[in-house]
């Protein structure tokens, strides 16, 4: 029988992903759930009730100084460039028995959070196939996708993984625990480097990649550079993994948009530094040429710069 079930959950980050998972846990009805925020984020969340798929959710918003006791689970759904400033807020909800689940993009969030809160509390994870979208103050998703999670390279108490499995089952959130979590982390990184960045520079939703050979070619060239780098750090990625991604891509709503495309359209800062920037950095470290990601890095940085210089153009996208 499962003991010490996850009952209390703090969600850090109320963008498309955080909102989608908050609604799923809220719909389950058997969790005590709140958004954890401070400063301007706290004020914004307090004023505007969460709207997901046309339904209003009365989810509490709590400041770190008002936390009475550690929660069972912290779900982190931030953009990478917001993580460091959010660490003190996050730490307020963490105790010895707290499990931390990051659904953030990239390869670095677990290490950053773990350094602040304890690596023993981290469960490594990726979210794949979820098509959450933010439009102003409203959020929507058609497919919940799947959370794939497990122990990372550091020793993690196996009971944390089993308790999280139980919690996701109770919330009807699709999930999977693979044999090799680090390989899966790199597989998701490869996907983000490909589809997020290609969609951003082409300003194209998923449906365009279903039918355009040139769009798919750009996406695959970006991903192939990650496959080469993975081999340099003893991670088993191969060309067949591109086919696995193609199967997932085919299931995504044609009108759906990647998080990076949503950021470009809204004039927000993107996560290009943890995608192309990371690929280029690792390429330099291991002596591996990464010309496609190098080019994309310059293009997206220039797109961000143009948005800053010409804010009117942001409103016209």
- Confirm if 263 and 303 have CB atoms less than 8 A apart: no
254-258: which pairs have CB atoms within 8 A and are 24 or more residues apart?
254/205, 254/206, 254/207, 254/210, 255/205, 255/206, 255/207, 256/131, 256/133, 256/142, 256/205, 256/206, 256/207, 257/133, 257/199, 257/205, 257/206, 258/195, 258/196, 258/199, 258/200, 258/206
pLDDT of residue 314: 43
pLDDT for residue 156: 58
What DSSP state is assigned to residue 271?
S
**What is the mean pLDDT of the segment spanning 82-97?**
95
| Domains of the chain, start order | 8-178 (3.40.50.720), 182-315 (1.10.1040.10)
User: Distance between CA 310 and CA 312 in Å, rounded?
Assistant: 5
Q: 220-224, 261-265, 273-277 — which is least confidently predicted?
A: 261-265
- What does the pLDDT read at residue 133? 87
Dump pLDDT digits (tens) for 120-151.
999 999 998 888 888 888 899 988 999 999 98
Q: What is the DSSP string of 30-56?
A: -SEEEEE--HHHHHHHHHS-EEETTEE
> How much helix, strand and coil, in percent to the nearest 5, is found in the chain?
50, 15, 35
What sign does the CA torsion over 113, 118, 124, 130 have? negative
Cα 19 to chain center, whole Å?
12
Q: Which carries the bigger pLDDT value, residue 46 or residue 35?
A: 35
Q: What is the percent of the chain with per-residue pLDDT over 70, rounded to a whole number?
A: 95
pLDDT tens profile 48-67: 889 999 999 999 999 999 99
- The pLDDT score that the predictor gives to residue 3 is 58
How much is the average pLDDT of 308-316?
A: 54
Range list of H helices, 121-258 = 158-170, 181-191, 197-202, 206-211, 213-232, 240-249
154 or 28, which is more confident:
28
Instruction: Summarize the confidence of residues 276-286 as an average pLDDT.
Output: 97
């Amino acid at each position: 029988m499962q003991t010490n079930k996850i009952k209390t959950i703090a969600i850090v980050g109320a963008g498309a992903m955080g909102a989608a998972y908050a609604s799923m846990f809220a719909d389950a009805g058997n969790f005590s759930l709140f958004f954890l925020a401070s400063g301007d984020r706290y004020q914004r969340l307090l004023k505007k009730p969460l709207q997901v798929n046309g339904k209003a959710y009365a989810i509490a918003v709590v400041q770190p100084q008002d936390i009475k006791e550690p929660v069972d689970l912290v779900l982190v759904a931030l953009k990478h460039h917001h993580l460091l400033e959010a660490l003190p807020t996050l730490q307020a909800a963490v105790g010895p028995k707290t499990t931390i689940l990051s659904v953030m993009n990239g390869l670095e969030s677990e290490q950053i959070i773990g350094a602040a809160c304890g690596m023993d509390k981290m469960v490594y994870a990726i979210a794949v196939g979820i098509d959450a979208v933010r439009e102003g103050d409203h959020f929507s998703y058609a497919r919940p996708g799947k959370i794939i999670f497990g122990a990372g390279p550091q020793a993690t108490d196996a009971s944390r993984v089993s308790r999280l499995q139980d919690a996701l089952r109770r919330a009807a959130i699709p999930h999977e625990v693979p044999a090799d979590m680090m390989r899966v982390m790199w597989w998701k990184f490869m996907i983000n480097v490909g589809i997020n960045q290609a969609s951003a520079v082409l300003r194209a939703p998923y449906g365009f990649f279903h039918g355009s050979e040139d769009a798919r070619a750009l996406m695959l060239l970006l991903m192939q550079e990650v496959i080469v780098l993975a081999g340099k750090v003893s991670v088993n990625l191969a060309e067949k993994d591109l086919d696995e991604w193609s199967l997932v891509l085919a299931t995504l709503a044609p009108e759906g948009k990647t998080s990076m495309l949503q950021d470009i359209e809204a004039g927000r800062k993107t996560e290009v530094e943890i995608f192309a920037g990371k690929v280029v950095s690792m390429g330099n470290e291991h002596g591996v040429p990464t010309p496609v990601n190098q080019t994309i890095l310059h293009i997206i940085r220039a797109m961000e710069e143009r948005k800053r210089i010409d804010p009117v153009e942001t409103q016209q996208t």
